[in-house]
Amino acid sequence: PITSEEMAAAFRDLHEFARAPERKVLVVEDNDAERDSIVQLIAGDDEQVIAVAVRTAEEALTVLQEQHFLCIV
């Protein structure tokens, strides 16, 4: 169970996500072909979605220290 404050915070976060002019997603996948496919599925031709792709968890941690992402896949 969550508190009403936690629920309100979750809805605020969702609202911010929906209003964001661009959505940045971090894709972590060691297989090149799969990583490219995931990036294409997520971002495609949508200019509002920026997919940053890395191969390893270590690379992901480094990128996470430098940038903010709305989602990690």
The residues pairing with 54 across neighbouring beta strands, listed in sequence order, are: 28
The structure's pTM equals: 0.70
12-24 burial code (b ≥16 CB/10 A, e <16): eeeeeeeeeeebb
Q: What is the pLDDT of residues 1-53, one digit of tens each?
A: 889 999 999 888 878 777 777 789 999 999 999 999 999 998 888 788 899 99
**What average pLDDT does the structure give for the chain?**
90
